[in-house]
Amino acid sequence: MGIVRTNQWLQEEFDRPIKICEKLLPYFKGYTANEIYNQLISFGMYRPLRSSKYVFDLMVKENVWNQVERLFQLYKKKWSGPDIPIFLFPIAQSGGFFFRMEKNKSGVSYPDKMFLFLSHLSDPKELEALFVHEYHHVCRLSNLNKKINHYTLLDSIVIEGLAEYAVLKNCGKNYTANWCHIYSDQEIKGLWKKYLKNQLDCKKNERVHDQLLYGGGRIPKLLGYAAGYKIVEEYYESHHYSTKQSFTIPASKFIE
């Protein structure tokens, strides 16, 4: 599959994103175009504004579709990863927290597809870091093969930690997300005990799952992400697993 030429869709229907989402109906069984758009907006997809059009024009100028296709072929071979469709769109220009907490790039992954939301990236390694994170998700999700509502908070924490540790290994520390380093080891230990330890079995469809994963209110910002990176880092230091092994190691192993 590889890169879907959404640049052509955007050329034709930029101001009508619902029409674009109608083209996504075969990839989201049982959803309407409006439901697809609302879901993608929550992860960073553009709204039809002048600023977003400027971003799209930059993406065309920089030929981002070809850049991502090269990354896909590289990592699909390197990781023996699944052959999935990948969709690129401009990122919303309002900021906010996305999966990697980066204002100029975001993404969302499924076991059978991937979406990247982009702005201008002056360093190609930034694009690779986003790709590595999201494609690692795809590989792990497709290998675990669980229904989405069966995932627990521990599953989600480990998934995020593993994906960003793959960024560290493939792109270097300078390209890891900010949330990897916002809390000290001591702070993580205290926050783990206070907020996470007794909630690890809560399911993805329970409200507390996202509260603890993303933080907000009384819960520290991006707590689940930061904790996930720390427990994966500690596990790697004593086990030295390969990237391919990281797609199948049970989440429970990381806290034994």
Closest residue by Cα to residue 161 from 196, 190, 127: 196
150-168 average pLDDT score: 96
Give yes or no for a contact between 34 and 116, defined as CB atoms under 8 angstroms apart. no
- Whether the CB-CB separation of 65 and 118 falls below 8 Å is answered with no
Pair type for strands 105-110 and 85-90: unpaired
pLDDT in tens, 86-142: 999 999 865 443 344 455 789 999 999 999 999 888 899 999 999 999 999 999 999
Dist. CA 174–CA 178, nearest whole Å: 10
CA 141 – CA 136 distance, rounded (Å): 8
The residue ranges of DSSP E strands in 67-131, in sequence order, are: 85-90, 105-110, 113-118
Average pLDDT over residues 172-196: 95
Domains of the chain: which residue ranges? 2-144, 148-255
- Strand, helix or coil for residue 129: helix
Task: Return the ∠ at Cα 247 (arms to 126 and 175), rounded to 5°.
Answer: 15
Residues 166-180 pLDDT 10s: 999 999 999 999 999
Q: Helix or strand or coil: residue 87?
A: strand
Question: What whole-number percentage of the chain has pLDDT above 70?
Answer: 96
Please tell me whether the overall predicted TM-score, pTM, comes out greater than 0.85 for this model.
yes
